[in-house]
């Protein structure tokens, strides 16, 4: 009986993780550059129980399951809808790739959100993210802006030019062999890991100036998944109640 309670409890815990992931997706449906995620599960270890019948009867040993475990959290990096904003410092990426930024501790991070602004300090103006992270160029340095920010233009390759048409920087755009290996750090940013591999040049990415990439969350799909998860959670709760009642009956049996 204890095993049945444990098996059902693991299912309830993991369904709660699934519901939390869905809730996070829905909460970020209006977050530009956000990529939805989903929790994947796998069977826990099976305990082999010998069949009471003889092997020649053609029967196999029984496998007693021990519930499920979280195997991975997958991120859907498919393209979000690109919409016009009209701001000179709004950029959207089409294709695979990430903008390169400098995190709060100076570490290199990557993001799909290209809604940038200006930070004035030390007599200069720098391109920063909504979180205040410095946007980096293709050589890893901060991008300094000219005086006429509204006159800044950007090519599809990410080359920034001033009002006179003179190039002064190029947006750092990187790609990864395995984007699923990227680690979410918060603030709509990602950090590389051994699983993702090192950053490389994003040859197929195109930059759209005056645009923003919307979240790729599909609300209808998320609501459907939420209903399924809630139904599964309800069934698991009933299984826990049934197992508890069976254990209570067994404990109260009289010889």
Q: How many CA atoms lie within 13 A of 124 on its CB side?
A: 9
Does 240 have pLDDT greater than 80? Answer: no
Tokens of 146: 């000219």
Give the domain ranges of the chain: 2-76+218-251, 96-204
Query: Is the pLDDT higher at 2 or at 254?
Result: 2
What does the angle CA 160 – CA 165 – CA 166 come to, to the nearest 5 degrees?
70
pTM value surpassing 0.85: no
The per-residue pLDDT for range 198-229, each reduced to its tens digit, is 999 987 899 999 999 999 999 999 999 999 98
Does 78 have pLDDT greater than 80? Answer: yes
pLDDT attached to residue 67: 63
pLDDT attached to residue 89: 96
* pLDDT grade for 243, boundaries at 50, 70 and 90: confident
pLDDT attached to residue 159: 96
pLDDT attached to residue 72: 76
Cite the beta strand spans of 142-224 per DSSP E: 153-154, 159-161, 167-170, 173-175, 183-186, 189-191, 200-201, 206-209, 211-213
């Amino acid at each position: 009986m204890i095993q049945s309670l444990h098996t059902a409890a693991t299912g309830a815990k993991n369904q709660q993780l699934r519901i939390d992931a869905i809730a996070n997706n829905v909460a970020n449906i209006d977050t530009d550059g956000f990529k939805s995620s989903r929790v994947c599960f796998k069977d826990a270890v099976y305990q082999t129980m010998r069949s009471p019948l003889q092997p020649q009867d053609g029967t196999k040993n029984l496998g007693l399951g021990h519930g499920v475990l979280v195997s991975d959290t997958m991120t859907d990096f498919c393209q979000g809808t690109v919409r016009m904003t009209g701001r000179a410092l709004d950029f959207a990426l089409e294709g695979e790739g990430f903008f390169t930024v400098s995190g709060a501790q100076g570490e290199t991070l990557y993001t799909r959100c290209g809604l940038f602004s200006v930070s004035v300090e030390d007599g200069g103006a720098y391109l920063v993210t909504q979180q205040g992270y410095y946007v980096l160029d293709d050589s890893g340095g901060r991008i300094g802006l000219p005086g006429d920010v509204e006159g800044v233009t950007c090519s599809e390759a990410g080359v920034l030019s001033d009002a006179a048409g003179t190039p002064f920087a190029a947006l750092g755009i990187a790609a990864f062999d395995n984007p699923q290996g990227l680690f979410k750090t918060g603030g709509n940013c990602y950090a590389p890991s051994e699983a993702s591999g090192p950053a490389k040049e994003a040859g197929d990415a195109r930059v759209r100036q005056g645009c923003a990439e919307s979240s790729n969350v599909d609300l209808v799909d998320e609501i459907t998944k939420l209903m399924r998860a809630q139904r599964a959670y309800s069934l698991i709760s009933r299984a826990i109640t049934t197992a508890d009642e069976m254990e209570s009956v067994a404990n109260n049996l009289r010889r």
